[in-house]
Amino acid sequence: MELRAVQSSYARWAPIYDRTFGAVTNAGRRRVVGYINRRGGTVLEVGVGTGLSLPHYGPDMKVTGIDFSREMLAKAKTRVAEMDLRHVKALRQMDARCLDFPDASFDTVAAMHVLSVVPEPQKVMAEIARVLKPGGEVVISNHFKSTDGMMAAVEKISARFANVLGWHADFEIETILQEGSLAVKEKESLPPLGLMTFLVLKKAPQGQPHRPGRTGLASSRK
């Protein structure tokens, strides 16, 4: 995705996002936030969008959200103010490829339905790993490319319109498994129809050497 295409597509999506794509991705959003609430601590949500996830975080959490779209962020800020979401500490406009945070700033990073949208997702994953504390976790929900069947055919056609739709329908999971300090901890298919995937990546504890990213799973549920 080109950055200009992301800007224009999400400016168009912002007024109707909650009722359209936001509704489709609800199961993934709740699964991710429920998991993070059990961990506690500080959270960076990359691609916070209109803030649909923000009311679901526990009151003891400390949440920072970023998004490149000013239109989306404006809606998120309105949501936080109207619902008095005091666990939301900051909402900032930012390019996920160059996060304006020190190394090891967050216990957890959430990335919900954003990695198939951003330009240069490998750079985004490198930045996520950088700002994540050693032993911390990246919690992801996203649609990944199907390998066969009717869905694979639909994705191939949709991929031609990525800049219009605002996301890559044929986004491969291997794209985000290349960061050497992160290893897969959990992977699970989500409704509707298994279109979305719940994925947890754990950062190597301090003092342990980085190693190539793995696709082997410590825990996997289909």
Encode pLDDT of 118-161 as tens digits.
889 999 999 999 999 999 999 999 988 765 544 444 444 344 43
Regarding beta strands 196-203 and 182-190, do their DSSP bridges make them parallel or antiparallel, or are they unpaired? Answer: antiparallel
Q: What is the mean pLDDT of residues 3-16?
A: 53
State the amino acid at position 168 in one-letter form.
H
What average pLDDT does the segment 4-31 reach?
61
Gap between the Cα atoms of 41 and 104, Å rounded: 13
CATH number of the domain located at residue range(s) 3-221 in this protein: 3.40.50.150
Q: Say if residues 181 and 111 touch (Cβ distance below 8 Å).
A: no
E-strand ranges in the chain read: 42-46, 62-67, 88-93, 106-112, 132-142, 182-190, 196-203, 219-221
pTM: 0.79
* Average pLDDT along the chain: 81
Written in H, E and C, the secondary structure of 98-134 is CCCCCCCCEEEEEEECCCCCCCCHHHHHHHHHHHEEE
